Structure 1
Amino acid sequence: MLKKIKFLSILITSLIFLLSCSNEPTEVTKIKFMAGYKPQANLPFVAAYVAKEKGYFLEEGLDVEILHSTGSHLKLLLAGEVDITTAAAASVIKRRSNPGVPISSIMLFGQKGQQAFISLKDSNVKTISDWEGSIFGYKISLPPEYLAMLNTNNLDRTKIQEVKVGFDPRILTEGKVDILSVFKSNEPNLIKKLGYDLNIWDPGEYGVPSLGLTYITLDDTITKRSDILERFNIAILKSIDFILNNRDEAIEIVMLYAPKSDKEHQIFMLDKEIEQSTSPAVELNGFGWSEKEKWQSLHDFLLEYRSIDKAIDINLVYTNQFLGKSIESDKKTILDRIGLGKN
């Protein structure tokens, strides 16, 4: 994993060298970025924090106001009150399947999905076969990954009690549920810090398609304000390079935004999300790259398990075009190789 991260850092460093040859912006444009949750070390959040604090946004002529959502970030994006926000890839597909929600991903951070399922190590639920006869707790809606794992392991759903539990992971340690739906970079560490060992099931290990967090914006912004998105992504890529090479300082920047949070937990979250941001395609093309095949697999999976009602054109869901479009045209071959060319 360290070799992969080092290789990724080299690619981004090459990117930054090429960016230094482009013309510097002469005007500063104000935009609003809204992180999709409270201040914490999710990689898309940290990238924005670092870009702000290290001056990368200003280097690209952007004055970025960073906001945090209480659950209304998509609504605010659609209303034009924020320019860029975050969302899980599955959520982008779900929203896009509604013709009234014209959003697209412009940078994919999570090359692997966030979803996992856990039980306490000393409980009676030790293997996936033990799920039958248990109580399953989920946050808001049943994860399709859960349904897929039941299907692939020939489990009888009628023998599992499904309970909506919200976001407090102590519901597991208090014995109110036997299995809990969690995010890999969050609840497992929180529960371990309470002194409990865990069994963890990763849907990806069972062949379930998944992708993680992305930056999203409106189709109208892509069409009419592409220069701003390009500059935003360039600043973020500089920020990612800094994070990969200066994790401790990056964490200190996180703590400026989340001063009351547990620092050790923020380190865990950031490390886990960096790990999930790499893939062979990223190593080949550059950070944030989207593969059509992975988006299509996720789409087909959501359709199969009725998370979306109808098929959509997956090309509308994401774009790679803002990963370096402003570079001089005579460098195009190099840019394409490291993932900066227009898709």
Structure 2
Amino acid sequence: MSRTYFLLFLSIVLFFTVGCGQDEAATEGGENDLTPVSFVLDWTPNTNHTGIYVAKENGYFEEEGLDVEIMLPGEAGANQLLASGQADFGVSYQEGLTQARVEGLPLVSIAAVLQHNTAGYASPVDKNITEPTDFEGKIYGGTGSTLEQAMMQTIMEENNANIDEVEFLPIGDADFFTAVERDVDFSLVYYGWTGVEAELRDEPLNMVYLTDFSEELDYYTPILATSEEMIETDSETVEAFVHAAAKGYEFAIENPEDAASILIDSEQELDPDLVRASQEWISPRYQDDAKRWGIQEHERWESFTNWMFENGIIENELEVDQAFTNEFLPSEE
């Protein structure tokens, strides 16, 4: 009897040991099947990034075989991290990526987050700045870049206004609302975040949008980007990433409230009311009038790149077809 019980006990031990070992191996194997991918933001998390958070939370990246880590850019900036291989994908801007390529950083735009430029010159309504001619005699708060001055000069000259009558004050990353109350009259903002915040604060703004005065300034901002090396050595991962991101942004277009909740739950330091209101405003603008989310047009890349060259922002002309691609976007159904 003792021998019989011993054999039975041994059989039970072996059963659970082998079974648990197989379960553990299966779990580890499932995790190992996912390709680790790093994605760097351009700034603190906001509704420009919602589609990425949705793709991660809803499992779209996992469905494509990816394990995506979302990173903050730090002092180096997204373009530098992408070019150095410290991040696989990230958020950039057409103007920044164009400058980077001319300077020798082989970056490529793989999708447009927003179809049209939503940037504009914002000011409290009591400043009475409603058109470019009103910039004269006012103080502008910005970064002090040549790009900034060239953009303002373009729309002012087209309206017979003199940019020499504008005082430029570098304010860096200063809070917009503090700056216009204390130091400056107007500044360049993206309405989808700062403009919406002004609505919530009951501090109405006048907006002078770049695209209302210049077709050349309807550049793609923001964009999703990667490196040429990533495309050349691992195009399957690039395609998988873009497909999942597209699904995330399409979800946000159709479900702004649910998408906002995902961003709020993922980044709990954000103001929930601002995120929800911003998402409601921005979701229709992800795709806007394009046939599908993420598409980029050669003509718009070429127009803005030529403008940058003519205004001395870049020293050399750019082969725009090497700077962006639509090849990784999901095909039209």
Q: TM-score range by the shorter chain?
A: 0.7 to 0.9
Q: CA 1:105/1:300 → structure 2, altered by over 3 Å: closer, same or farther?
A: same
1:27 to 24, 29, 33: 33
**Does 1:57 pair with 2:61?**
yes
> Which of these residues, 238, 247, 251, is aligned with residue 260 of structure 2?
251
TM-superposed deviation, 1:39: 1.9
Match of 1:233 in 2: 242
Ranges in structure 2 where 5+ consecutive residues have no aligned partner? 1-31
Q: 1:88: which partner in 2?
A: 93
Cα deviation 1:77-118 (Å, max 9, x = unaligned): 1221110011011111111111x2000001111211142101
Cα drift, residue 140 of structure 1: 5.1
Q: Distance in 1 between matches of 2:130 and 2:53?
A: 40
Cα drift, residue 170 of structure 1: 2.0
| Other structure's SS at 2:109 match | strand
Task: Tell me the residue number matched to 1:14.
Answer: none
Mapped contact 2:195–2:205 kept (Cα < 8 A): yes
Structure 1 residue 172: deviation in Å?
4.2
What is the root-mean-square deviation of aligned Cα atoms in Å?
Answer: 2.0
Indicate conservation of the 8 Å contact 1:145/1:208, yes or no: no
Gap change, CA 1:126 and 1:116, over 3 Å in 2: closer
Asked whether the equivalents of residues 147 and 305 of structure 1 are also in contact (C-alpha less than 8 Å), the reply is: no
Call closer, same or farther: CA 1:270–1:147 in 2, change over 3 Å.
farther
Tell me, yes or no, if structure 1 residue 269 matches structure 2 residue 278: yes
User: Hey, what's the Cα distance between the residues in 1 that align with 2:94 and 2:156?
Assistant: 22
Q: Which residue of 2 aligns with 1:120?
A: 124
3-state SS in 1 of match to 2:243: helix
Q: Which secondary structure does the structure 1 equivalent of 2:250 belong to?
A: helix
Matched residue, 1:3: none
Conserved? CA contact 1:50–1:239, under 8 Å: yes
The structure having more radius of gyration, on CA atoms, is 2
Cα deviation, residue 273, structure 1: 3.1
| Paired AA for residue 235 in structure 1 | A
- Tell me the distance in 2 between the aligned counterparts of 1:112 and 1:81: 29
* 297, 302, 305: which one aligns with 1:291: 297
SS of the counterpart of 1:148?
helix
Aligned partner (choices 126, 130, 136) of residue 132 of structure 1: 136
The equivalent position to 2:202 in structure 1, one of 172, 195, 200, is 195
Please report how far the alpha carbon of residue 159 of structure 1 lies from its aligned counterpart in structure 2 after TM superposition. 1.2
Partner of 1:314: 320
Mapped to 1, the partners of 2:71 and 2:283 lie a distance apart of: 22
| Count of matched residue pairs | 297
Mark the CA change 1:208 to 1:166 in structure 2 (over 3 Å): closer, same or farther. farther
Q: Residue 147 of structure 1 aligns with which residue?
A: 153
1:125 aligned counterpart, secondary structure? coil
Cα separation, 1, equivalents of 2:277 and 2:211: 20
The secondary structure found in structure 1 opposite 2:52 is: helix
- C-alpha distance in structure 1 between counterparts of 2:285 and 2:101, whole Å: 24
Aligned residues with identical type, % of pairs:
25
> What amino acid is aligned across from residue 212 of structure 1 in structure 2?
T
For 1:204, the equivalent position in structure 2 comes to 211
Match of 1:331 in 2: none
- Normalising by structure 2, report the TM-score: 0.83
Match of 1:332 in 2: none
Alignment partners' CA distance in 2, 1:279 and 1:252: 22
Contact 1:148/1:305 (<8 A) preserved: no
Q: What are the equivalent positions in structure 2 for 1:11-26 lying under 5 Å apart?
A: none
Worse-matched range after superposition: 190-199 or 286-295: 190-199
AA aligned opposite 1:70: G
In the other structure, the counterpart of 1:46 is 50
Deviations 1:263-309 (A, max 9, x none): 221123333333332344x22xx211111011111111212222211
2: distance between equivalents of 1:268 and 1:139? 27
Q: Distance in 2 between matches of 1:227 and 1:111?
A: 25
